[in-house]
C-alpha cells in the first residue's frame, strides 16, 4: 500500500486535494440539475473519503510534528501563507470528517426535498471548511476556515431546519461569532504584540509571552473553542441548533464541528500558552467545567421529551470527558480525549442518523410518540441499541476506550475530578436506557408505529460501517492510539517543557504588553510597556 | 445485536493488518503446560451468538413484516417445530457442549503443581505510553473451576431452554443472547487482568439487561432490565475507580503483577489497599446483589426462568464473589475491608432471608434466597475463607440452578393450566399452586433434593459448603490476634440463624407448591403435567451434582467423623488443595495478621460438634415447618392479599427498599434534572444570552433613530456634539 501511494506521489497532492476537491464537487453540483445533486455530492464526498484513507499509510508517526507539509506564500506582506500539514492529532479528525461527510450526505437523501442544489453545495463547502480547519498550519488560514464553517452551517440550519430554525441559526451564529471574534483579537495580538511576526504555527509557538499575556490570550482562545465544544455553561446554542438542524446538519455538527473546539484546545491552546494551561486556577476551572458538563448535561438529557434534544445534551456530556482528559495534562488523558472525539463522532453521528430515520417515518421527534419499535423494525432496533451502548461506553465499543483513558489520565493528576466524573457512567445509563426503552421496547400500541418500516438497503449501508467502527475501535484501538501518540506526546512536551522555562523566558522587559496589562509572572515581573511603543522599534 | 463479525475479523477489518504481535510473556510460561485451545472456549459461544443473532434477525424480518401488515406471525403454523427453531437448537447448546468438553480437558490436563497462571495473549488491546492492556486469557485453578461451572451448568440450562422456550417466537434471539452471555462470562473469569475482567463484567451486565427485558413489549419487564443495568453501573463506578487506584499503585492491571506488587509493596491495612478493596467491593456488591444494591435482582426475575437460573443464580451474580476471591491477596492486606465485606455479606444474607419468608411468587422466593446465599459467599470471602466462598459458589450453582429450573418446570406447567383456567391465574404465585406433587412427581422429588441441599442438611452439597463458611467464621472470630474477633462472633451467630431461616423458607416453598390441596382450580389443574425429558434430564444431572457436589471438599475434621462417613467420602479437602496455588498467598498474609484460627467456636465446641448441631437444627427446622405449614390452609391468590400489618407486612413489602430509593434518590434526581433544564438552562443561561441579544438590538434601534435622513437634524447633532466636546475639554480641566 505504501509503495502504491508513493508511486502516485500521494503525499505531494493529498492535502490540497482534500481541501479543493469538495469545492470542485460544489461547483459540479451547482451547474448540475437538482435531481442529480445528491448523487453528485455523495460521489464527490466519497472520492474525498477514499482518498483520505491513504493517510492511514501515508502518515507515518515519527517525531509527532507535522507531516506532508507544504507552504505557499499567500499574503506575503503580512506573513500569511497557504500552509498545510497533518499530524497524529489532525489525521484522525480529517478521516472522521471525510467519513461523516459522505455518510451525512447519503443520510440526507430522503430528508432534503427542497433547494437540493444549494443544500448539497453547502454541505461540500462545509466539508472544505472543516478540513481546512484541521489541515491549516498557518493561523490566519486556520481562522479563515474556522469562520468559513459558520456560513454553510448557518444556512443549513436556517433554510432546511425545523420550525424555530431562524432562532436556532441566529443563536448558533452569534454565539460562535462572539467567541471567534475574541480569538481574532487574540491572534492579532500575538502577531503584533507577541512578536510572532508571522502567522506560521511555529512562529506562534515561539511567541514570547508573559504569563499575564498568556492568561488573557488563553481566555480569548478558550472562549472561542469552548463555545464550539461546547463547554458548560456555553452550551445552550447546541440543543437548539441540533433540534432545528436537518439530519445531515446535526450529524456534521455533532461529529466534526464540535471537534473543532477540542481540536483547538489541543492544537493551539495547550502549546501556545503552556504557562496558562498549567496554571492551577486555569486547570481547576477547566476541569470543573468539564466535570459539571458531564453530569449536568446528563441530568438535563434525561428529562428531555424530544429525542434529538436528548442526544444533543449527551454531546455536551461526552465532550466534558474530552475537556477533562485534555486539561489533566497526561498522556492517557489526552489520548482518551482523542478517542472520545472519534468515538463520539461516530456514535452520536449514528444516533442522529437513526433519529432522522425515525423523523422521516413518523414526522415527530417526541419520545412519547414511539414505543415497541423493536417489534416493527428489528434491524433498526438492533442498530439503535448497539449505537446507544457505544454512546454510553460499554466495554468492547469505542466509547469505553475513550472514556476509560480520559478518566484514567485525569485520575493520575486530579483524582477528585476523575471520581466525580466517573459517576457520569451511571448517569449515561440514566439518560440513555429510558430513551431506548421508550422508543424500542414497551407495547407497540400506536398504530402508526406498527407500520414503521424497517431499515432500507441505503440505510443499512449508512449504519453498517458506523457500527463496525464502533465495535472495531472498541476491540482494537491500539493502531489508532499508536498513531496519535507521538503527536499527543509532543503537545504534552511543549506544555511541560515551555512551562518549566516560562519564568526565565518572560523575565526580560523586552517584550510588549497590551496597554494597561501589567505582567506579573512571579519573580520575573515585567515592566509595563505600551504595545504601540513595542511595535515602533 | 447483529452477527456483526467475530472479534478477530472486526479487528482485521479495522487494522488492515493481522492482530499485533503477542508479547513473549505467554511463551515463557507455557513451557510447563500447554492449555487446550483456551481461545476457542471463549470464541465458541461468540460464534454461537453470531449464528443465532443472524438467524434472529432473519426471523425478525419475517415477524416484523407481519406486524406491519397488521397480522400476527405464527411460526408454529403448520409445524410443531418451526424452521426458525432448528438451527438455534443445534447451535445454542452445541457450542456450549464443545466449550464444556474443552474446559474439562483443560481442567483434567492442568498439572497439580502449576504455581503460576498460564497466560495466553492475543492482541494488544489498549496500548499507549506506559499503559499496556493485553487482550489475554489466563488459566489457573480458580479460572478452571469457574470455566467448568459456567460451561457445565450453562450447557444444562441451554438444554433445558430448548424445552422451556419451545413455543417462543423469539427463540433464535433468546439463544443468541444466552450464547453472548456465556462469552462475556468466560471473558470475566478467564481475563488475565482487571481491565479484561471489566469487559466481561459489563458485558454480562448487558446480556442480563437484554435477557431480563427479553419480552420487551412488556413494560414491567423492560423496566426491570433497565433497573438492573443502572444499579449494576453504580457498582461499576466503584470497579472503575478501583482500577484507577490499582494503576496508580502498580502501573498495570495485570493480576500477576498487581498481586506480586501488593505482596511486596503494600503494608497491611494501608490506605491504598483498603480503598482499592472497598471500591472493588462496591463493584462486587452491585453485580452480586448485596445490600443495599440488591434491589435489582428480585426484579430481574422478569426474565425467562432459565435465564434466572443461569445468570441470576448460578453464574453472573457470583462474579462479585469470584472477583473478591481473585483479589484475595489485596483483601488479605486490608482487614478493615474484609470485616466490611463480611458484614455486608452477613447482613445481606439475613435481610434477604427475612424477605424470602413472606414472598408468594415462587421466583421471588428463590431470588431472595439467591441474594441470601450470595451473602454467605461474601461472608466467606470477607473472613478470608476464599476456598469456602468458591466452594459455596459451586454447590450453590448446582442446587440453585436446579431450584430455578424446577420452578421453571412448574411455571411451564402452570402456564398451560392458566390457559384453561376459569379465572385469571398468576402462574408464579404459589398460592395458586399446591399439591403439584401429584402432577409432577419427578420435579417435586428433584426439588426436594435441592431444598435439602440448600438447607444445609447432611450429606447434600450445601451442607459441606455452608458449614465450612459458618465454621471458618467461628474459627476466625477466635483467632489469636484478630482485632475484629467480637464482630466475627456476631457474624457467626447471625449466619447460624440465617441458615435456619433458609431451611424454613425453602420448606415453605416446597409445601406451598407441591403439597397440600391443589388451588389451581379444576379446569386448570386438568392441564398440569410433568415437564418433557429435554427439561427433566438437566434437572436430574443437577440433582446428582446437588447430592455429590459437596464431597469435593469434605473437611479433614469431618472426614474422621459421621460427616465423612468416617473416611468413606472421597476427596478430603480436595478443592482446598486444588485452589491452594491461588489462595496460599492470601492465607499466609492473613495468618501473619490474625494469627492461627481457633479450634473452637465462640460458644465452645469444635468443628464436628457445630456441624452436627447445624445439620440437626436444619433438619428439625425442615421437619417441624413442613409439619406446621402442611396443616395450614392456604387460599388462592385472588382471595388473599397477604399479611396486612406488622412485621409480616414489612417483610412482604421487602423492607421498603425500593420505595426509599424512589423517594430519596430517583424522584429528587428527576426533579433536580428538570430544574437544571427549566431554570439554569432556560432561564439563567438563555436568559442572559437572549437579553444580551436584545440589548444589542435595542442599541441598534436607538442608533437607528438618529438615521432620519434629514440633513438639518444631522447638523444639529453635530453641533451639539462639538459643543459638548469643547465644553468638556474647557471646563473639566
Q: Which ranges in B596-645 belong to alpha helices (H)?
A: 607-631
Beta carbons of B237 and A468 less than 8 Å apart: no
Inter-chain residue contact B10 with A471, CB threshold 8 Å: yes
Q: Which is higher by pLDDT, A500 or A358?
A: A358
Pairwise CA distance, residues A257 & A220, whole Å: 19
Q: Which residues contact B100 (CB under 8 A, 6 or more apart)?
A: B148, B151, B152, B154, B155
Q: How crowded is residue A69: how many other Cβ atoms within 10 Å of its Cβ? A: 15
Contact: A394, B248; criterion CB under 8 Å: no
B287 to chain A nearest CA, in Å? 14
**pLDDT of the residue at B416:** 87
What is the rounded distance in angstroms from the CA atom of residue B307 to the CA atom of residue B92?
14
Q: A128 falls in which pLDDT band (50, 70, 90)?
A: very high
State the Cα–Cα distance between residues B360 and B363, nearest whole angstrom.
9
Does the beta-carbon distance from B230 to A430 stay under 8 Å?
Answer: yes
C-alpha cell at A200: 506560521
How far apart CA B148 and CA B649 sit, in angstroms, is: 41
A375 chain-B contacts, CB cut-off 8 A: 63-64, 67, 217
Radius of gyration of chain B measured on its C-alpha atoms: 31
CB contact under 8 A, A475 and B125: yes
Determine whether the interchain pair B677/A473 forms a contact, defined as Cβ–Cβ distance below 8 Å. no
Cell of B530: 410433568
Among A175, A232, A236, A293, most B C-beta atoms within 10 A, so best to mutate, is A236
- Please list the ranges in chain B whose pLDDT falls under 50: 1-30
Separation of alpha carbons A131 and A136, rounded Å: 8
Q: Which residues contact A457 (CB under 8 A, 6 or more apart)?
A: none
Find all residues with CB under 8 Å of A364, minimum gap 6, and list them: none
Q: How many CB atoms lie within 10 A of CB B525?
A: 19
Whether residue B240 and residue A478 make contact (CB cut-off 8 A), yes or no, is: no
A300 vs chain B: nearest CA distance in angstroms?
5
Q: Residue B179 in 3-state DSSP?
A: helix
Residue B287: list chain A partners with CB under 8 A.
none
Residue A78 has pLDDT above 90, yes or no: no
Give the length of chain B: 733
C-alpha cell at B710: 434629514
Enumerate residues 211 to 240 of chain A having a beta carbon within 8 A of any beta carbon in chain B: 233, 236-237, 239
| A412/chain B closest Cα distance in angstroms | 7
Which of B222, B672, B674 has the CB atom closest to A442's CB atom? B222
- What ipTM was assigned to the predicted interfaces of this complex? 0.90
Query: Does the beta-carbon distance from B129 to A335 stay under 8 Å?
Result: yes
Q: What is the pTM of this model?
A: 0.90
Judged by DSSP in three states, B77 sits in coil
How far does A513 lie from chain B, in Å, by closest CA? 30
How far apart CA A479 and CA B162 sit, in angstroms, is 42
Quick one: cell of A89?
492529532
Within 10 angstroms of residue B707's Cβ, the number of other Cβ atoms is 9
Cα–Cα separations (whole angstroms), residue A375 to A365, A467, B67: 19, 21, 7
A214-269 pLDDT, tens digit each = 999 999 999 999 999 999 899 999 999 999 999 999 999 999 999 999 999 999 99
Contact B248 A412 (CB under 8 A): yes
What is the reported pLDDT for B9?
Answer: 44
Instruction: Provide the 3-class DSSP secondary structure of residue A81.
Output: strand
d(CA A409, CA A327): 10
A454 touches chain B (CB under 8 A): yes
Beta strands B131-139 and B118-128, pairing class: antiparallel
Contact A398, A343 (CB under 8 A): yes
Q: Do B673 and A440 touch (CB under 8 A)?
A: no
Per-residue HEC secondary structure of A321-336 comes to HHHHHHHCCCHHHHHH
pLDDT of residue B503: 95
Nearest Cα residue in chain A from B229:
A429
- The nearest CA of chain A is from the CA of B303 a distance in Å of 14
Whether residue A293 contacts residue A264, with contact meaning beta carbons closer than 8 Å, is answered with no
Contact B15 A418 (CB under 8 A): no
User: So where are chain A's domains?
Assistant: 281-501
Least Cα distance to A389 among A323, A454, A436, A455 occurs for A436
Euclidean distance between CA atoms A328 and A280, whole angstroms = 11
CB–CB contact B244 A331 (8 Å)? no
B15: chain A residues, CB-CB within 8 Å: 476, 479
Contact between chains at A233 and B685 (C-beta distance less than 8 A): yes
Q: What nine digits make up the cell of A349? A: 453521528
What local confidence, expressed as pLDDT, does residue A516 receive?
A: 37
Alpha-helical segments (H) within B315-385: 319-326, 328-332, 335-357, 362-382
Give A70: exposed, middle or buried? Use CB within 10 Å, 0-12, 13-18, 19+: middle
Does A445 contact B at CB distance below 8 Å? no
CA B173 to chain CA centroid, nearest Å: 21
CA-to-CA distance for B115 and A381, rounded, in angstroms? 48
Return the pLDDT at B80: 63
Q: Please report how the helices A307-327 and A415-422 are oriented relative to each other, as an axis angle in degrees rounded to 10.
A: 160
pLDDT of residue A378 exceeding 80, the answer is: yes
**Which residues are registered as beta bridge partners of A136?**
A84
What backbone phi and psi angles, to 5 degrees, belong to A70?
A: -150, 150
Compute the Cα dihedral for B533, B536, B538, B541 and give only its sign.
negative
- Angle value at C-alpha A115, between A113 and A117, nearest 5 degrees: 110
Task: Determine which of A386, A475, A491, A492 to mutate to test the interface with B (most B C-beta atoms within 10 Å).
Answer: A475
* Neighboring chain A residues of B222 at a CB cutoff of 8 Å: 437, 441-442
Nearest residue to A396 via CA among A466, A455, A475, A295? A475
Cβ separation of A408 and B131 shorter than 8 Å?
Answer: yes
CA dihedral A427, A430, A436, A439 (to 10 degrees): -130
By Cβ distance, the residue of A412, A444, A471 closest to B67 is A444
Q: Grid coordinates in use for A329? A: 495534562
CB contact under 8 A, B237 and A375: no
- What pLDDT was estimated at residue B78? 57
Q: Hey, are the CB atoms on A478 and B123 less than 8 Å from each other?
A: yes
Q: Which of B126, B234, B670 sits opposite A478 (nearest CB)?
A: B126
Nearest-CA distance from B475 to chain A in Å? 38
As a whole number of angstroms, the distance between CA B427 and CA B413 comes to 9
- Give the minimum alpha-carbon distance from A230 to chain B in angstroms, rounded to a whole number: 13
Q: Hey, are the CB atoms on A444 and B677 less than 8 Å from each other? A: no
Q: What pLDDT score was predicted for residue A498? A: 63
**Residue B2 to residue A418, Cβ atoms within 8 A:** no
Contacts of A296 in chain B (CB under 8 A): 676, 680
Asked if the C-beta of A126 comes within 8 angstroms of chain B's C-beta atoms, the answer is: no
Q: Which residue has the higher pLDDT, A358 or B604?
A: A358
More confident residue, A505 or A479: A479
Distance CA A293, CA A235 (A): 9
Q: What is the chain B residue with the closest CA to A483?
A: B128
How far is Cα B692 from Cα B336, in angstroms, rounded to an integer?
57
What percentage of chain A has pLDDT greater than the value 70? 92
Q: Looking at residue A530, what is its pLDDT?
A: 39
Is residue A126 within 8 A of residue A152, CB to CB? The reply is yes
pLDDT digit string, tens, across residues A177-226: 888 899 999 999 988 877 767 898 988 988 888 899 999 999 999 999 99
Residue of A238, A300, A470 to mutate, testing the B interface (most B Cβ within 10 Å of its Cβ): A300
pLDDT of residue B158: 96
CA distance A214 to A274: 8
Report the mean per-residue pLDDT for chain A: 88
- A to B CB pairs, distance under 8 Å: 202
A256/A262 Cα distance (integer angstroms): 10
Is the CB of residue B37 less than 8 Å from the CB of residue A349? no
Q: What is the rounded CA–CA span in Å between residue B503 and residue B572?
A: 26
Q: How far apart are CA B665 and CA B293, in angstroms?
A: 13
Calculate Rg over the CA atoms of chain A.
23
Amino acid at each position: 500500500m505504501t509503495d502504491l501511494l508513493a508511486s502516485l506521489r500521494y503525499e505531494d497532492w493529498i492535502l490540497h486535494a482534500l481541501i479543493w476537491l469538495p469545492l470542485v464537487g460544489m461547483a459540479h453540483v451547482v451547474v448540475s440539475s437538482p435531481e442529480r445533486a445528491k448523487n453528485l455530492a455523495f460521489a464527490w464526498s466519497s472520492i474525498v473519503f477514499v482518498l483520505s484513507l491513504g493517510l492511514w499509510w501515508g502518515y507515518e508517526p515519527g517525531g509527532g510534528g507535522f507531516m506532508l507539509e507544504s507552504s505557499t506564500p499567500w499574503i506575503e506582506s503580512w506573513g500569511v501563507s497557504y500552509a498545510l500539514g497533518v499530524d497524529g492529532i489532525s489525521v484522525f479528525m480529517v478521516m472522521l470528517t471525510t467519513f461523516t461527510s459522505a455518510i451525512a450526505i447519503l443520510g440526507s437523501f430522503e430528508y432534503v426535498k427542497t433547494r437540493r442544489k444549494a443544500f448539497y453545495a453547502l454541505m461540500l463547502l462545509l466539508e472544505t471548511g472543516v478540513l481546512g480547519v484541521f489541515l491549516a498550519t498557518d493561523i490566519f488560514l486556520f481562522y479563515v476556515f474556522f469562520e468559513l464553517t459558520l456560513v454553510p452551517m448557518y444556512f443549513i440550519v436556517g433554510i432546511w431546519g425545523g420550525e424555530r430554525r431562524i432562532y436556532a441559526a441566529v443563536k448558533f451564529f452569534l454565539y460562535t461569532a462572539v467567541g471567534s471574534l475574541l480569538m481574532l483579537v487574540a491572534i492579532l495580538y500575538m502577531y503584533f504584540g507577541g512578536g510572532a511576526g508571522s502567522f506560521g504555527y511555529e512562529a506562534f509557538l515561539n511567541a514570547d509571552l508573559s504569563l499575564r499575556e498568556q492568561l488573557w490570550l488563553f481566555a480569548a482562545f478558550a472562549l472561542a473553542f469552548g463555545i464550539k465544544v461546547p463547554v458548560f455553561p456555553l452550551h445552550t446554542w447546541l440543543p437548539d441548533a441540533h433540534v432545528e438542524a436537518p439530519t445531515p446538519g446535526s450529524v456534521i455538527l455533532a461529529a466534526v464541528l464540535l471537534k473543532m473546539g477540542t481540536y483547538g484546545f489541543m492544537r493551539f491552546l495547550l502549546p501556545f500558552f503552556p504557562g496558562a494551561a498549567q496554571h492551577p486556577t486555569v486547570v481547576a476551572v477547566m476541569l470543573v467545567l468539564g466535570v459539571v458538563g458531564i453530569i449536568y448535561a446528563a441530568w438535563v438529557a434525561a428529562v428531555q421529551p424530544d429525542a434529538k434534544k436528548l442526544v444533543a445534551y449527551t454531546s455536551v456530556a461526552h465532550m466534558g470527558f474530552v475537556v477533562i482528559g485534555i486539561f489533566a495534562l497526561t498522556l492517557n488523558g489526552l489520548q482518551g480525549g482523542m478517542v472520545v472525539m472519534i468515538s463520539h463522532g461516530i456514535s452520536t453521528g449514528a444516533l442522529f442518523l437513526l433519529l432522522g430515520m425515525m423523523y422521516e417515518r413518523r414526522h415527530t421527534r417526541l419520545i412519547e410518540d414511539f414505543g415497541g419499535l423493536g417489534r416493527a423494525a428489528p434491524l433498526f432496533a438492533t442498530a439503535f441499541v448497539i449505537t446507544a451502548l457505544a454512546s454510553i461506553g460499554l466495554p468492547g465499543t469505542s466509547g469505553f476506550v475513550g472514556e476509560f483513558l480520559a478518566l484514567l489520565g485525569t485520575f493520575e493528576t486530579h483524582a477528585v475530578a476523575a471520581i466525580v466524573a466517573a459517576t457520569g457512567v451511571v448517569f449515561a445509563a440514566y439518560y440513555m436506557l429510558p430513551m431506548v426503552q421508550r422508543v424500542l421496547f414497551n407495547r407497540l400500541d400506536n398504530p402508526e408505529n406498527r407500520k414503521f418500516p424497517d431499515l432500507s438497503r441505503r440505510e443499512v449501508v449508512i449504519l453498517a460501517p458506523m457500527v463496525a467502527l464502533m465495535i472495531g475501535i472498541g476491540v482494537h484501538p491500539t493502531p489508532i492510539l499508536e498513531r496519535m501518540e507521538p503527536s499527543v506526546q509532543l503537545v504534552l512536551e511543549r506544555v511541560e517543557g515551555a512551562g518549566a522555562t516560562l519564568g526565565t523566558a518572560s523575565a526580560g522587559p523586552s517584550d510588549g504588553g497590551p496597554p494597561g496589562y501589567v505582567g506579573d509572572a512571579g519573580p520575573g515581573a515585567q515592566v509595563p510597556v505600551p504595545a504601540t511603543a513595542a511595535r515602533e522599534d | 445485536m447483529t452477527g456483526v463479525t467475530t472479534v478477530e475479523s472486526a479487528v482485521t477489518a479495522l487494522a488492515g493488518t493481522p492482530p499485533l504481535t503477542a508479547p513473549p510473556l505467554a511463551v515463557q510460561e507455557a513451557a510447563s503446560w500447554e492449555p487446550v485451545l483456551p481461545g476457542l472456549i471463549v470464541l465458541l459461544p461468540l460464534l454461537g451468538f453470531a449464528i443465532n443473532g443472524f438467524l434472529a434477525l432473519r426471523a425478525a424480518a419475517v415477524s416484523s413484516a407481519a406486524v406491519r401488515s397488521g397480522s400476527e406471525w405464527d411460526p408454529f403454523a403448520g409445524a410443531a417445530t418451526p424452521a426458525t427453531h432448528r438451527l438455534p437448537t443445534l447451535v445454542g447448546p452445541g457450542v456450549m457442549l464443545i466449550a464444556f468438553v474443552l474446559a474439562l480437558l483443560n481442567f483434567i490436563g492442568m498439572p497439580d503443581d502449576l504455581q503460576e497462571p498460564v497466560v495466553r495473549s492475543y492482541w494488544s488491546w489498549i496500548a499507549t505510553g506506559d499503559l499496556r492492556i493485553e487482550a489475554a486469557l489466563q488459566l489457573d485453578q480458580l479460572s478452571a473451576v469457574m470455566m467448568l461451572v459456567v460451561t457445565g451448568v450453562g450447557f444444562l440450562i441451554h438444554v433445558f431452554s430448548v424445552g422451556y422456550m419451545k413455543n417462543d417466537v423469539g427463540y433464535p434471539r433468546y439463544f443468541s443472547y444466552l450464547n453472548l452471555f456465556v462469552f462475556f462470562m468466560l471473558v470475566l473469569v478467564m481475563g488475565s487482568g482487571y481491565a479484561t475482567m471489566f469487559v466481561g463484567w459489563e458485558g454480562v451486565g448487558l446480556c442480563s439487561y437484554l435477557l431480563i427485558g427479553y419480552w420487551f413489549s412488556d413494560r414491567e419487564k423492560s423496566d426491570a432490565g433497565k433497573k438492573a443495568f443502572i444499579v449494576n453501573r453504580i457498582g461499576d463506578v466503584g470497579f472503575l475507580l478501583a482500577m484507577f487506584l490499582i494503576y496508580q499503585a502498580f502501573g498495570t492491571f495485570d493480576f500477576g503483577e498487581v498481586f506480586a506488587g501488593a505482596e511486596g509493596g503494600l503494608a497491611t491495612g494501608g490506605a491504598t489497599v483498603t480503598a482499592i478493596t472497598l471500591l472493588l467491593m462496591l463493584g462486587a456488591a452491585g453485580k452480586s446483589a448485596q445490600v443495599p444494591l440488591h434491589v435489582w435482582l428480585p426484579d430481574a426475575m422478569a426474565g425467562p426462568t432459565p435465564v434466572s437460573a443461569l445468570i441470576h443464580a448460578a453464574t453472573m451474580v457470583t462474579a462479585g464473589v469470584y472477583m473478591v476471591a481473585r483479589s484475595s491477596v489485596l483483601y488479605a492486606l486490608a482487614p478493615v475491608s474484609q470485616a466490611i465485606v463480611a458484614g455486608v455479606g452477613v447482613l445481606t444474607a439475613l435481610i434477604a432471608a427475612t424477605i424470602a419468608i413472606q414472598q408468594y411468587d415462587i421466583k421471588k422466593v428463590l431470588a431472595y434466597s439467591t441474594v441470601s446465599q450470595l451473602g454467605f459467599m461474601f461472608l466467606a470471602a470477607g473472613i478470608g475463607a476464599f476456598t469456602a466462598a468458591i466452594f459455596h459458589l459451586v454447590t450453590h450453582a448446582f442446587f440453585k440452578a436446579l431450584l430455578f429450573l424446577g420452578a421453571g418446570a412448574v411455571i411451564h406447567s402452570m402456564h398451560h393450566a392458566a390457559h384453561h383456567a376459569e379465572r385469571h391465574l398468576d402462574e408464579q404465585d404459589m398460592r395458586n399452586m399446591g399439591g403439584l406433587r401429584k402432577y409432577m412427581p419427578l420435579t417435586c422429588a428433584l426439588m426436594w433434593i435441592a431444598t435439602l441441599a440448600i438447607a444445609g442438611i447432611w450429606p447434600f452439597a450445601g451442607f459441606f459448603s455452608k458449614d465450612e463458611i459458618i465454621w471458618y467464621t467461628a474459627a476466625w472470630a477466635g483467632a489469636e490476634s484478630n482485632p475484629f474477633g467480637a464482630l466475627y462472633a456476631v457474624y457467626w451467630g447471625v449466619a447460624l440463624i440465617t441458615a435456619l431461616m433458609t431451611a424454613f423458607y425453602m420448606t415453605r416453598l416446597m409445601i406451598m407448591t407441591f403439597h397440600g390441596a391443589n388451588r389451581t382450580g379444576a379446569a386448570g389443574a386438568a392441564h398440569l403435567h410433568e415437564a418433557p425429558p429435554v427439561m427433566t434430564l438437566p434437572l436430574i444431572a443437577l440433582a446428582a451434582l446437588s447430592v455429590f457436589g459437596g464431597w469435593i471438599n469434605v473437611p479433614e475434621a469431618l472426614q474422621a467423623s459421621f460427616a465423612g462417613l468416617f473416611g468413606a467420602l472421597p476427596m478430603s479437602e480436595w478443592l482446598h488443595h486444588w485452589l491452594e496455588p491461588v489462595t496460599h498467598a492470601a492465607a499466609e498474609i492473613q495468618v501473619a495478621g490474625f494469627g492461627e484460627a481457633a479450634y473452637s467456636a465462640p460458644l465452645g465446641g469444635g468443628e464436628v460438634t457445630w456441624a452436627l448441631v447445624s445439620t440437626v437444627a436444619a433438619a428439625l427446622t425442615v421437619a417441624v415447618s413442613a409439619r406446621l405449614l402442611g396443616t395450614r390452609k392456604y387460599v388462592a391468590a385472588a382471595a388473599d392479599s397477604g399479611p396486612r400489618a406488622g412485621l409480616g407486612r414489612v417483610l412482604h413489602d421487602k423492607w421498603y427498599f425500593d420505595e426509599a430509593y424512589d423517594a430519596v434518590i430517583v424522584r429528587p434526581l428527576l426533579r433536580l434534572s428538570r430544574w437544571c433544564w427549566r431554570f439554569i438552562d432556560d432561564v439563567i443561561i438563555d436568559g442572559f444570552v437572549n437579553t444580551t441579544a436584545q440589548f444589542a438590538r435595542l442599541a441598534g434601534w436607538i442608533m437607528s433613530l438618529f438615521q432620519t435622513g434629514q440633513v438639518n437634524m444631522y447638523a444639529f447633532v453635530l453641533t451639539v456634539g462639538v459643543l459638548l466636546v469643547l465644553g468638556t475639554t474647557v471646563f473639566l480641566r
